[in-house]
């Protein structure tokens, strides 16, 4: 349940990178970018309690991409790599892609040009779930 929510949250952030011109390098796209979220879909959450737990989990967790690092306020930081992928390669289901396409369009976010999958360069530096 939280995994689906985390997917939405990071998808929103990563998709914001697509707003930049395609000729800009990946490094430039991720230069001093601050995450905006979380956005939680009603159809993902089973109850108000679940929604509150997710909101509490991400409350005050500012996420900043700067100088090749991800900084998560009061949580952790790590050096990252980003790879552009298609929505279908991420979700592996056209039905799921359509769900997120519709949901994210409510926030004027278009996933058709792809998503950025962000991961730590050193697994030993990885943050705890869900970061």
* Per-residue pLDDT at 97: 96
* Contacts for 75 with CB less than 8 Å, ≥ 6 apart: 61, 127, 128, 131
- Tens-of-pLDDT digits for all 131 residues of the chain? 444 444 444 554 544 444 443 445 666 777 777 776 677 776 665 677 787 888 888 888 888 888 889 998 888 999 999 899 999 999 999 999 999 999 999 988 899 999 988 889 999 988 887 77
pTM: 0.66
Could you tell me which of 11, 22, 34, 3 has the C-alpha nearest to residue 110? 11
* Per-residue pLDDT at 36: 67
* Per-residue pLDDT at 89: 96
CA gap 26, 114 in Å, rounded: 13
Question: C-alpha 87: how far from its chain's center?
Answer: 13
Could you tell me if 14 and 115 are in contact, meaning their C-beta atoms sit under 8 angstroms apart? yes
């Amino acid at each position: 349940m939280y995994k689906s929510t985390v997917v939405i949250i990071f998808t929103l952030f990563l998709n914001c990178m697509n707003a930049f011109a395609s000729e800009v390098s990946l490094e430039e796209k991720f230069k001093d970018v601050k995450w905006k979220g979380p956005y939680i879909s009603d159809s993902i959450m089973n109850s108000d309690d679940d929604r509150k737990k997710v909101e509490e989990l991400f409350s005050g967790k500012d996420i900043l991409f700067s100088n090749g690092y991800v900084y998560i306020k009061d949580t952790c930081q790590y050096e990252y790599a980003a790879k552009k992928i298609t929505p279908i390669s991420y979700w592996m289901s056209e039905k799921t892609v359509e769900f997120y396409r519709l949901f994210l369009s409510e926030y004027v976010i278009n996933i058709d040009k792809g998503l950025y999958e962000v991961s730590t360069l050193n697994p030993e530096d990885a943050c705890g779930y869900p970061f």
